[in-house]
Amino acid sequence: MKIAIDLDEVLGDFMKAFLRWYNHTFGSNFTREDIVRYHMGDLLGISRAEEIKIMHRFFRENGVDGIEPMEGAEEAIKELAREHDLYVVSARQNILLESTRRWINEHFNGYFKKIILGNQDSLDGEEAKGKNKICQELKCDVLVDDGSYHIESVFGGNVSVIIFNHPWNIYHRFPPSVKRADNWQEIIGLIKEREKVNV
């Protein structure tokens, strides 16, 4: 199968690195459990435009190197790559492509066919591409993601969705066709089940 896999909060622990930086920079004390919405501006008490600026500042000041892989991701990707075509599908901006490629090569070298960025919320005015469009072009069978917005964008197509559970999506209601996973072991189990439908 062709499997599209999100990067931040699925392959890499973006939130851990982001909150470490944010709390240090702004003298706050937020934890992962505080982040109960995908767009965290409301929780941080800032507008969406400010939130986007802060994200850019985080990447500018930190790069992506401090982001650790999610627990179990490296072993799981290695296993999945034996039988499936894997694609990194991230909403990250194009300016992060080179650093993202380096990060993927460092932790997941050779397991992904391609890295595709959606360039969402970029400051360069370049066009953004939604995950629905990317999944359609790839003709992917499965999308693994944590963002409710991205997940809902692929509804109506042929993509099976696995959502990686996090505080910011756990209260979001999805149709029963969307499967939930707490960790990479569960994701592998769900992909094996999905495979049975394919044969």
Helix (H, G, I), strand (E, B) or coil at 7: coil
Contact 122, 95 (CB under 8 A): yes
Least separation in angstroms between residue 14's CB and Mg ion is: 7
Q: Exposed, middle or buried: residue 127 (CB in 10 Å: 0-12, 13-18, 19+)?
A: exposed
Alpha-carbon distance of 91 to 183, in angstroms, equals: 21
Interface mask toward Mg ion for 147-166; x: CB under 5 A: x-------------------
Helix (H, G, I), strand (E, B) or coil at 88: strand
Least separation in angstroms between residue 150's CB and Mg ion is: 7
Q: Which is nearer to Mg ion, 8 or 13 (CB)?
A: 8
Helix (H, G, I), strand (E, B) or coil at 114: strand
199: Cβ contacts below 8 Å, ≥ 6 apart: none
Q: Which is nearer to Mg ion, 83 or 155 (CB)?
A: 155
Interface mask toward Mg ion for 4-23; x: CB under 5 A: --x-xx--------------
Least separation in angstroms between residue 27's CB and Mg ion is: 26
Candidates 112, 141, 146, 169; binder of Mg ion (CB under 5 A) is 146
Q: Binding segment for Mg ion among 3-11, 113-121, 125-133, 168-176 (CB under 5 A)?
A: 3-11
Binding site for Mg ion (CB under 5 A): 6, 8-9, 146-147
